[in-house]
Structure 1
Amino acid sequence: MIHGPPSLRQFLAETPRAAWALAGTPFRWRAALDGAPRGDGGPVLLLPGLFNSDRSMLLMARFLRSLGHAPHGWGLGRNFGQRSIGTDGAALFARIDHLAQASGRPVALVGVSMGGIMARLAAHRVPASVAQVVTVASPYAGPARATRVWRLYEWISGESVDDPALLALADEVRRPLPVPATAIWSASDGLVNGLCCHVAGEPGCHAVHVPSSHYGVQTRPAILRAVAQALAANCPTAATSAMVAGTAG
């Protein structure tokens, strides 16, 4: 049962933990890359967290490209919730469909925090264009108030977390996905309750615990490696790729 947001102690530790981790990234980069499973050239769409843009995902994009994936930014500016992805996600779904048609195969979605919630929504709405979903520190499984950022979300997005339409979307996102999924989460996350970031026993979804702060989670070598492992474990089959290519044509 999800009781509430992370403790004040965890929250106050966020900034120093993130700074320490970022400072050590150059020394851990090679260890994360060495032996990481390689991709097969398939498209990967990277969805940034709340208030962040594609720039926040540059390190992850570089990492995945070095492994043979074809990462793409979402191209929708800063993540301001529905203000960025369009009414009911139309702009995001169009971006995913375009990449699937251009590559002739479904797209893997990797979303950080709010970006992961959006990735799950997309998998429900345009499943033929989505190969798999990897969420990183994405609080899709619990109430908004089990985070320390819900008020910031309301201010940035202009939406109320109690809005019936938003609650309906949250229920949809929480349902098991029609595609393979991986939920990467941390019990020591200082902004979102880690129990919100996965559903125990969710069909088709593999939960992976990686200790991390929330700030800068997408730059942590251990997280990058977990993402690479998730992508490799759920690569689309040739048959699936052919089916999507036929649909695109």
Structure 2
Amino acid sequence: MPGPTDLPVADGVLAPTARMARREWRTALELATAAVRTRDLQEWPRGDGHPVIVLPGFLAGPESTVFLRAHLRRLGYRTHDWRQGRNLGVHPGLGEALQDLLLEVHDRYGRRVSLVGWSAGGIYAREMARALPHYTRSVITLGSPFRGHPESTRAWRVYQLLNRGRHTDALFTEEARAARAAPLPVPTTCIYSRNDGIVAWECCVSEPADHTENVEVTASHLGYGHELATLRVVADRLAQPEGGWAPWAATPRGEVG
């Protein structure tokens, strides 16, 4: 995985090829495998009951995170959907609505909230934590292109069709992109895959910072939320005691130990 001295360049990197995108069909196999292997929870790290908000990727909705939320709930977490329906991009008021959700969930349980964001959902999760770090326990991103430019994703043209105007243009200035790429003040795990057929993996890894790590898995982009090794990383990261963060002890090629 990228270390402090070998952070890959994200600006100008090409989006995954059509050949890589066609391999996204693997998500069905990833889901089938995980559905069987997650039935027995004895070998999975258990949660401490703290709340977790899960945010879906672009063009996805609550149904896409059902498996992930259910698995985390069985491990002992209080899981919540992002309550915004289908993710069609950033719109005026979205940031405020998500911050209100974070505050509501925090106040409901009286505990800091972990945020798990898939693809574009991870970008939103990062900005929620950046705005409200004292209410955020940790952030985990799954193939989220928070560095570089979204033209390095195969979803960019569709995003442009659905999101236009000054508000959208302001999101992609050099200053705005640099601000999104800046590391967070809370424990952060950036999960990425070189097999991602939608998003260039170079855009999904963070600059080095305290309590920030990049973890490589072998998932497809559409499979991050249910691929077995990815689930293992997510469960391990969430199970860390608050205030007791330590880097992920990776097994070879992101395999489950």
Q: For this structure pair, what is the TM-score category when the shorter chain's length is used for normalisation? A: 0.7 to 0.9
Give the 3-state SS of the residue equivalent to 1:80 in structure 2: coil
Q: Which residue of structure 2 aligns with residue 42 of structure 1?
A: 50
- Stretches of 4+ aligned residues off by more than 4 angstroms: 159-162
Q: Deviations over 1:156-200 (max 9, x none)?
A: 334689813443443222111011100111011000011111125
Residue 89 to residue 166, structure 1, CA distance change in 2 (3 Å): farther
Gap runs ≥5 in structure 2: 1-8, 245-257
C-alpha separation in 1, matches of 2:156 and 2:167? 7
- Whether 1:97 and 2:107 are equivalent positions in the alignment is no
Q: 2:206 aligns with which of 199, 212, 237?
A: 199
Residue 91 to residue 34, structure 1, CA distance change in 2 (3 Å): same
Contact 2:183-2:207 within 8 A present in 1 as well: no
Q: 2:68 aligns with which of 60, 78, 84?
A: 60
Equivalent runs, 1:73-222 vs 2, <5 Å: 73-83=81-91, 86-87=92-93, 89-158=95-164, 163-167=169-173, 168-222=175-229
C-alpha separation in 2, matches of 1:199 and 1:180? 12
Q: Which residue of structure 2 aligns with residue 70 of structure 1?
A: 78
C-alpha separation in 1, matches of 2:167 and 2:224? 24
Q: Deviations over 1:58-94 (max 9, x none)?
A: 11111111111111111111112223xx436000000
Q: Which residue of structure 2 aligns with residue 246 of structure 1?
A: none
Contact 1:154-1:161 within 8 A present in 2 as well: no
Number of equivalent positions: 233
Question: After the TM superposition, which of the residue ranges 155-164 and 170-179 deviates more from structure 2?
Answer: 155-164
Structure with more of its chain in helix, by fraction = 1
Q: 1:21 aligns with which of 16, 21, 30?
A: 30
Identity of aligned residues (%): 36
C-alpha separation in 2, matches of 1:193 and 1:143? 10
Give the 3-state SS of the residue equivalent to 2:114 in structure 1: strand
- Relative to the length of structure 1, the TM-score reads 0.86
Q: 1:11 aligns with which of 21, 26, 33?
A: 21
- Relative to the length of structure 2, the TM-score reads 0.83
Q: Displacement, 1:44?
A: 0.4
